[in-house]
Amino acid sequence: MLKLYYVPGTCALASHIALQEAGASYTTERLDFKTNQQQSPQYLAVNPKGRVPALVTDHGTLTETPAILGFIAQSFPLAKLAPLEDPFALAQLQSFNSYLCSTVHIAHAHKGRGYRWASDEASFADMKRKVPETMAASFALIERGMLKGPWVMGETYTVCDPYLFTLTRWLAGDSVDLSTLPKVADHHRRMSERPAVQKVLAEETA
């Protein structure tokens, strides 16, 4: 049995949706950032990084969204959540998810996690002011050439799609107007209509 540790509103949503789309048998445990539960001894024993998501499997615990999404896609091949038979297409999928992880998520994190990169309070404010610009630029690149449409990889839904959907949900809070990104906006609408997405969102917002 798989077990996903998550916090609502975080990137863990992508893994949660992917598990549901895959038809996996899994349980979830919600952590509370407000009480710093991610730094509790109990959770650090699961994930010493003190972050979410963490996916406990029969083989051990996985962390980092691209790795978890890859694991889900390969563990449930009948769900066809990745082009497992095409090495180049699979690398393209990994490239997209890596961009979301290493660039887009980091740009967003500068709004509330400035202490990871600086110790001067003035630096925190400067980083926060930069977020609308960096997030808009990142999503403009996705809009222009990375989102093939209607899904990230083209006609086939993959684990890229819940990941993009998750980060798209952050745009309003980052002062980026989704209406300026018609392809991304259409993708967000399509994702919102999927039963698996609706089920997971209902659970996470309950």
> Tens digits of per-residue pLDDT, 70-95?
999 999 999 999 999 999 999 999 99
Domain total in the chain: 2
pLDDT of residue 122: 83
Q: What is the spatial distance between Cα 199 and Cα 197, in angstroms, rounded to a whole number? A: 5
Is there a single domain that holds both residue 71 and residue 167?
no
The first and second tokens of residue 195, run together, are: 């039963």
> Which tens digits make up the pLDDT trace of 100-145?
999 999 999 999 888 889 898 889 989 999 999 999 999 999 999 9
> What CATH number does residue 30 fall under?
3.40.30.10
pLDDT of residue 114: 83
Is there a single domain that holds both residue 95 and residue 112?
yes
User: Could you write out the three-class secondary structure of 70-114?
Assistant: HHHHHHCHHHCCCCCCCHHHHHHHHHHHHHHHHHHHHHHHCCCCH
pLDDT exceeds cutoff 90 at 206: no
Is there a single domain that holds both residue 91 and residue 154?
yes
> What CATH number does residue 111 fall under?
1.20.1050.10
Boundaries of domain holding 15: 2-80+198-205
pLDDT of residue 115: 86
Q: What is the spatial distance between Cα 173 and Cα 111, in angstroms, rounded to a whole number? A: 10
pTM: 0.96
Q: What is the spatial distance between Cα 29 and Cα 8, in angstroms, rounded to a whole number? A: 11
Q: How far is CA 88 from CA 144, 152, 155, in A?
A: 21, 15, 17
Is there a single domain that holds both residue 106 and residue 175?
yes
